[in-house]
Structure 1
Amino acid sequence: MAIQLSKGQRIDLTKSNPDLTRAIIGLGWDTNKYSGGEAFDLDASAFLTGSDGRCTEDLDFVFYNNLEHPSKSVIHSGDNRTGEGAGDDEQLIVDFSKIPSTIDKIAITVTIHDAERRNQNFGQVSNAFVRLESADTNEELLRFDLGEDFSIETAVVFCELYRHGQDWKFSAVGSGFSGGLSALCKNFGLEV
């Protein structure tokens, strides 16, 4: 049975699960019904950073236009433009054995595409979650339900995977940003 995390909790991944080499990070959400006239398009991304919390190059940003890190350590499953249906809306596959030694953290984020023009924000998103399962056994190891803590934010850091010595840990972050993908890129050291 998966461990249910609360905002701010951290948990060991690879020390407690020594056979865990590949993980599927599943992200999901529902959008509230409102008469804004435009469909929602939420997008998952991963920022691979050094110890300073910044990406060293554009290719350290894995998203719908760059589906694979050059090391093949993080692979995006592809853009789901509707988010309809149950289960994961988008997935990222992380291979811990392929993460370059220069990468100390992987921030998993979700943004609302074109949110400002469409007048959309995370206050209109419900049932958002991130879960991690073993890619080899399909066993769900942990889950973090974000709750309804957001109002004007257009981007959210759902969680972080971070290096601790030789092991990897998971942090349930749930931190919102205004300014969408552009604000996140700047936060992680990328030029927009």
Structure 2
Amino acid sequence: MNNTNQLPPSEMIKPAILYYGTPVILLSTLNEDGTVNISPISSSWALGDCIVLGLGIGGQAFHNLERHPECVVNIPGPSLWKEVERLAPYTGKYPVPEDKQQYGFTFLKDKFAASGLTPAASVTVKPARIAECPLQIEAAVLNIRVPEHSPDFAVIEARAVQVHAHKDIITHGSHIDPQKWSPLIYNFRHYFGLGDQLGRTFRAEI
């Protein structure tokens, strides 16, 4: 018989945010003048070649994807958290939307210069990749949906068309070595890396 007295106590709460621990993404999109905008986001998941992104509709990334449905999903490692944070208070949208002004955002066009990151030419899409990110996924946007219950955000469905990986994290041809690769995690608005390996699933191929 289970002894519920041994379980940790819990209570009902209403958190202001639900960033319960997801990888940080630096999303490259194409501006109207052909330059590249970089948007740090923390709502993303992938299954097969399907990538789902969550974006605020007031940002430049959403505007860019509506006009030019291509992007690069750049996934930084923990060592790049300072570069990510340098971009955090900036928006590529001008004029700056009022809601972003309230949170202290300011306009910045050249995100590469501000972050110290390096652009790299993509193969299948126009937005540039970010060379320092160990994983870079070129993607084509297939669908954009704004949920009725949350009209300030959009759900972006994209298809991965080309994946780039740093050589030092590749093993057995086309596998990512989980012993050498760790994503930067956004955990309730704080940056973390992964801890020690606990085990592996039965479907692990390496």
Instruction: Give the TM-score normalised by structure 2.
Output: 0.24
Q: Choose 1 or 2 for highest CA Rg.
A: 2
More helix, by proportion:
2
Structure with more relative contact order (C-alpha pairs < 8 Å, separation 6 or more) = 1
Instruction: Give the TM-score normalised by structure 1.
Output: 0.25
More strand, by proportion:
1
